[in-house]
């Protein structure tokens, strides 16, 4: 465990990347690290607080990374169908609660309160979302990586938006990934309904959204801190500026 209060102690997320990341099965690209750190630091600088959550955590590879960005004593919540794979309609990886628990015990922060919810994310009631926000949120970082159909992804983006803390960031996996066209279609439908979040960064298959009031600041900070290679280009998506890093 990293003691972030100790001067010169490495960040918990660097420790995870060095010691645990490669041992946890899942779909997160190693090159995502500087983007996560940049956003975590930006939120800290701006005084943005909140917890972390993920819909679709598989074996916990990204969940542990999100938890590494929490303040000591913070809450990390994973929602997945886990063993009820009949609700995983497109077979986007079969989540396992045992594997998540094992990986969190082996590589996760010990000063974080983890909680696991076995549920079909597309069937959450309004009350369930309110209870999630009240008991475990609101969320400063919310990853959407569950079932990749258009229906599930759209529902999950709406859940993330409803449970988000002011200045919180939604991180959607597999946008514009040809294997998962439902994700891309869902973003078009979500953004077409004029949400109160807007995309500002695309990197390593993940699309990042923040509340419209924070968008200009987050975009400028990403351009200033992350537009370092030829792979980065300024684009516009759904009327919002996005720093796009590809491949």
Q: Identify which range of 75-83, 103-111, 184-192, 232-240 contacts ligand SAM by CB under 6 A.
A: 75-83
Cβ proximity to ligand SAM: between 120 and 201 the closer is: 120
57 binds ligand SAM (CB under 6 A): yes
Least Å distance, CB 209 to ligand SAM, is 17
Q: Which of residues 77-116 bind ligand SAM (CB under 6 A)?
A: 79-81, 87-88, 92-95
Q: Identify which range of 73-81, 106-114, 129-137, 214-222 contacts ligand SAM by CB under 6 A.
A: 73-81
Least Å distance, CB 236 to ligand SAM, is 28
Tokens at 16, concatenated: 């995870």
145 binds ligand SAM (CB under 6 A): yes
How deeply is 185 buried, as exposed, middle or buried, from its count of CB atoms within 10 A (0-12, 13-18, 19+)?
Answer: middle
- The CA distance from 39 to 72, in Å, is 18
CB contact at 8 A, 52 and 70: yes
Cβ proximity to ligand SAM: between 153 and 244 the closer is: 153
Among 77, 122, 133, 153, binds ligand SAM (CB under 6 A): 122
Q: Quick one: which of 156, 169, 212 has its CA closest to 41?
A: 169
Cβ proximity to ligand SAM: between 79 and 237 the closer is: 79
Tokens at 8, concatenated: 């010169």
Instruction: Tell me the CA distances in angstroms from 47 to 133, 208, 210, 223, 230, one per residue in order.
Output: 19, 19, 15, 20, 32
Least Å distance, CB 155 to ligand SAM, is 9
Among 20, 50, 56, 241, binds ligand SAM (CB under 6 A): 56
- The CA distance from 35 to 106, in Å, is 24
Among 16, 17, 26, 76, binds ligand SAM (CB under 6 A): 26
- Let me know the angle formed at the C-alpha of 174 by 153 and 140, rounded to the nearest 5 degrees: 70
Cβ proximity to ligand SAM: between 66 and 164 the closer is: 66
Q: Sign of the C-alpha dihedral, residues 56, 212, 47, 165? A: negative
Residues whose CB falls within 8 Å of the CB of residue 8, separated by 6 or more in sequence, listed in order:
none
Q: Which of residues 170-199 bind ligand SAM (CB under 6 A)?
A: none
Instruction: Tell me the CA distances in angstroms from 145 to 92, 137, 152, 198, 232, one per residue in order.
Output: 9, 18, 10, 18, 24
28 binds ligand SAM (CB under 6 A): yes
Binding site for ligand SAM (CB under 6 A): 26-28, 55-58, 61-62, 79-81, 87-88, 92-95, 120-122, 145-147, 152
């Amino acid at each position: 465990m990293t003691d972030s209060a100790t001067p010169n102690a490495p960040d918990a997320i660097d420790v995870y990347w060095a010691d645990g990341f490669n041992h946890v099965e899942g779909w997160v690209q190693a090159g995502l690290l500087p983007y996560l750190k940049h956003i975590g630091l930006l939120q800290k600088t701006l005084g943005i607080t909140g917890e972390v959550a993920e819909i679709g955590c598989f074996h916990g590879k990204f969940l542990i990374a999100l938890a590494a960005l929490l303040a000591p004593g913070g809450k990390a919540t994973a929602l997945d169908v886990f063993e009820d794979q009949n609700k995983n309609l497109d077979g986007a990886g079969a989540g396992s609660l045992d594997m998540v628990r094992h990986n969190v015990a082996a590589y996760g922060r010990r000063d974080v309160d983890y909680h696991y919810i076995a549920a079909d994310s597309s069937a959450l009631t309004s009350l369930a979302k309110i209870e999630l926000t009240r008991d475990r949120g609101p969320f400063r970082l919310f990853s959407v990586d569950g079932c990749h159909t258009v229906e599930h992804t759209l529902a999950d983006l709406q859940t993330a938006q409803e449970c988000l803390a002011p200045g919180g960031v939604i991180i959607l996996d597999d946008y514009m990934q040809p294997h998962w066209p439902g994700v891309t279609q869902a973003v078009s439908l979500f953004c077409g309904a004029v949400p109160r979040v807007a995309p500002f960064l695309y990197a390593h298959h993940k699309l990042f959204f923040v509340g419209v009031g924070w968008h200009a600041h987050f975009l400028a900070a990403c351009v200033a801190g992350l537009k370092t290679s030829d792979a980065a280009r300024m684009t516009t998506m759904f009327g919002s500026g996005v720093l796009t890093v590809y491949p």
